[in-house]
Structure 1
Amino acid sequence: MRVIVVGAGVLGTLHAWHAVERGHEVVQIEREAEARGASLRNFGLVWVGGRASGPELETALRARELWAEIGARTPALGFRPNGSLTLVTGARERAVAEAAVARPDAAARGYKLLTPDEARALNPALGGTFDAALYCERDAAVEPRTAQLALRAELRRSPRYTFLPGREVREVIGDRAVRDDHGDVHHGDTVVLCTGAWLGGLVRELAGPELPVRRVRLQMMQTDPLDTPLTTSVADADSFRYYPAYASPALDELNAGQPQPPTAAEHRMQLLMVQRADGSLTIGDTHEYAHPFAFDTVEDPYDHLAAVAETVLGRPLPRIRRRWAGVYAQCTDPGAVVHRQRVRDGVWLVTGPGGRGMTCAPAMAETTADELGW
């Protein structure tokens, strides 16, 4: 079989990976020299703990297994099973963590409620004050800025894989063929469009104007290296408000009785913090849904994130090295893990993984491969 994959973000690259692994010839086409979208502008989190029960959690757990397998073959991916700690303070936040630990699927997620001393035994960098920490053993991390490069370097070891950068696909010709902006036509047995947050142009033409996918904008930042290991990923209790796993009467009480600070509420914020391989910290994030998005970044969210991160660490942050904004595509169907649509005979659009793209991409791509009979 010959598979044409359009898009070289993490979702497209994992589709190429599964096709090559199953013995097929793959041509992967990317409009940039390298992917520059949400697949790079994220935390690199393999975030199992916050996923909704059912298909979403099952997809995340399967993806976690696949990331471990791929990481063992591709050390440059930077896979590490570091787990995560969500720090809580006060009775309301603790009640949400206790409700999470009482879930029927808590063991599958690796949930444990830890005392501050137990949390610091796992992550000694936590020098701030907190009352308890929700530990998720199944969470992990990869290096987002280099993951696609590492995966592609491994793919290029196969003579069945071809990467064509700097080419924008402009047209689907008949069935199972695409024409790029160089005028070249690429024929395959299957075409998979993994175009990320690019939802206009050809995607709109093929999928129609009612595509159940929206774009979400975020802001994040990265520091200079921290001089001590941050051995787990870290979140604050505001993350309870944004992940479906934590829905409960306790969360309702938290939202009603302990609203977020104004800046956090305005920008729909949570603290997520991950240490990169070079020791730097990736810190975020915000959520913006209303179009048109701003073209600039706003300082208030960064000030809030820095203050919360310093409270968690009990010390000043290293110098902020870079700030950025990103846009990702999020499926609006609450029952779907990703939007997967046949737009022509033999041509499939796979988009809208949302904030779970880096977490779930290996399993999302595996499901496509299974469903298409690769």
Structure 2
Amino acid sequence: MERWCAQASVCGVRILIIGGGVLGTQHAWQAVERGHDVVQIEREPEARGASVRNFGLVWVGGRASGPELETAARARVLWERIGERVEGIGFRPNGSLTVVRTEAELAVARAAADTGEDRGFKLLDAAETRALNPALRGEFLGALWCDRDAAVEPRVAQPALRAELAKSGRYTWVPGREIRDLTDRGVVDDTGETHEGDVVVLCTGAWTGGLVKELAGTTPVRRVRLQMAQTEPLGETLTTTVADADSFRYYPAYRGEALDGLNAGQPQGEVAAAAKMQLLMVQRLDGSLTIGDTHEYDEPFSFDTTEAPYDHLAEVAGALLGRPLPRITRRWAGVYAQTTDTSRIVHRARVADNAWLVTGPGGRGMTCSPAIAEDTAEELSW
């Protein structure tokens, strides 16, 4: 390690990034920005995992105080800078509204807004909420506004970033290759080709078998499955991301007496509780809506998607919009990796003299990946 770290501080080295998702691509971005040559290798023809099966949210407000919030806030700044250079990622600082419909929900929103922490929170009444997002015509008491939250387009962000990286002349994209072996010179793929590099960074997401398991053994990472959907175009602009108050139950920023009161006095309905649900709703650039999501933690996971959660999402979204949700045109499930060490944002560990494993950001992957990659670059002295 000392050899290539010393090299990295003086001159460019050749870095192999294994994994074509957002975390791997942000590591490639950091390496190229710091003057290194990068080869990024992906086992699929294109990233198909959690990096594209998500909302594309840069979600700052709900993060836990301390390192998690600091990482998300730093990543938000990095996303905006990248968006200024790479228009194709679709970055937009649209903020979010967590809409509340009962007094118990309002109490949680008020407590969050009154903490004094610098999260960009502001409590809005119903009229202020509708003024900020006129597409919300349902019945509600108000909303918790977060001006720090933003969005990108998850299905196109990685290709757009790669296209920009290619302009450097120091970046190579190698899809459709699965890494089978690690050597002191680099890696060997499933065609027998050797890719030489000074350091290997494994950003393989929820893929924890094969070579990753051989190198890392059992890691403090669990897998989480979710269901989501996309609708036809709404026909008008949804000016902010929208969440329902069930999101209070799943984000650590809202923990406290008010949330305890909500959980005790207003438990989730049967479907939402069984699927560990919240409503998140974000508009894509084509006008469609991405909605979700559910959380399944116990493996083996279901191999099919179930309709009850979609019915629930449509009902809640329709109530906030004050009209039926547009017809769902796509449904999918996804699996992401989440570190079980709650003191860490991501599992980052050296697994060989020349290789590191970086995985397990959980549902923070799209939000935090630029800052996670920056931290890796600093830790490895790129």
Q: Tell me the TM-score range normalised by the shorter chain.
A: over 0.9
2:316 match: secondary structure? helix
Q: Do structure 1's residue 61 and structure 2's residue 96 form an aligned pair?
A: no
Once the two structures are superposed, residues 71-124 of structure 1 have per-residue CA deviations (whole angstroms, 9 ceiling, x without a partner) of 00011100000000001122211111111112232xx21000001111111100
Specify which of 115, 121, 124 is matched with residue 111 of structure 1. Answer: 121
1:133 match: secondary structure? strand
Q: Do structure 1's residue 193 and structure 2's residue 205 form an aligned pair?
A: no
TM-score, normalised on structure 1?
Answer: 0.98
Give 1:324-339 correspondences, 5 Å limit.
324-339=332-347
Post-superposition shift, 1:202?
1.2
Please give the alpha-carbon distance, in whole angstroms, between the structure 2 residues aligned to 1:334 and 1:316. Answer: 39
Give 1:267-278 correspondences, 5 Å limit.
267-278=275-286
1:19 match: secondary structure? helix
Contact 1:176 1:345 in 2 (8 A): no
Specify which of 96, 100, 109 is matched with residue 97 of structure 1. Answer: 109
Give 1:168-207 correspondences, 5 Å limit.
168-173=178-183, 175=184, 177-207=186-216
**Number of matched pairs:** 370
Please give the alpha-carbon distance, in whole angstroms, between the structure 1 residues aligned to 2:280 and 2:270. Answer: 18
The residue type paired with residue 319 of structure 1 is: R
The residue type paired with residue 189 of structure 1 is: D
Contact 1:84 1:139 in 2 (8 A): yes
Contact 1:80 1:142 in 2 (8 A): yes
Please give the alpha-carbon distance, in whole angstroms, between the structure 2 residues aligned to 1:75 and 1:122. Answer: 25
Specify which of 273, 283, 288 is matched with residue 291 of structure 2. Answer: 283
The residue type paired with residue 202 of structure 2 is: L
Post-superposition shift, 1:351?
0.2
Once the two structures are superposed, residues 230-255 of structure 1 have per-residue CA deviations (whole angstroms, 9 ceiling, x without a partner) of 00000000000000111111111111
1:109 match: secondary structure? coil
User: What is the percent sequence identity of the aligned residues?
Assistant: 71
Measured on the aligned residues, the alpha-carbon RMSD in Å equals 0.8
Other-structure match for 2:369? 361
Specify which of 252, 262, 265 is matched with residue 254 of structure 1. Answer: 262
Other-structure match for 1:79? 91
The residue type paired with residue 119 of structure 1 is: T
Specify which of 303, 306, 310 is matched with residue 318 of structure 2. Answer: 310
Please give the alpha-carbon distance, in whole angstroms, between the structure 1 residues aligned to 2:136 and 2:263. Answer: 26
Contact 1:176 1:347 in 2 (8 A): no
1:117 match: secondary structure? helix
4+ aligned runs moved over 2 Å, structure 1: none
Post-superposition shift, 1:346?
2.1
TM-score, normalised on structure 2?
Answer: 0.96
2:70 match: secondary structure? helix
Post-superposition shift, 1:176?
5.4
Shift in CA distance, 176/121, structure 1 to aligned 2, threshold 3 Å: farther
2:180 match: secondary structure? strand
Once the two structures are superposed, residues 160-188 of structure 1 have per-residue CA deviations (whole angstroms, 9 ceiling, x without a partner) of 10010000001111x35111101111221
The residue type paired with residue 15 of structure 1 is: H
Please give the alpha-carbon distance, in whole angstroms, between the structure 2 residues aligned to 1:283 and 1:89. Answer: 19
1:203 match: secondary structure? helix
Post-superposition shift, 1:261?
0.5
Please give the alpha-carbon distance, in whole angstroms, between the structure 2 residues aligned to 1:18 and 1:283. Answer: 31
Q: Do structure 1's residue 5 and structure 2's residue 14 form an aligned pair?
A: no
Deviates more, 1:2-11 or 1:247-256: 247-256
Shift in CA distance, 253/24, structure 1 to aligned 2, threshold 3 Å: same
Please give the alpha-carbon distance, in whole angstroms, between the structure 2 residues aligned to 1:90 and 1:276. Answer: 29
The residue type paired with residue 284 of structure 2 is: R
Please give the alpha-carbon distance, in whole angstroms, between the structure 1 residues aligned to 2:185 and 2:377. Answer: 16
Other-structure match for 1:323? 331
Once the two structures are superposed, residues 181-211 of structure 1 have per-residue CA deviations (whole angstroms, 9 ceiling, x without a partner) of 01111221211000010011211111112x1
Structure 2 runs not aligned, ≥5 long? 1-12
Other-structure match for 1:14? 26
1:12 match: secondary structure? helix
The residue type paired with residue 7 of structure 1 is: G
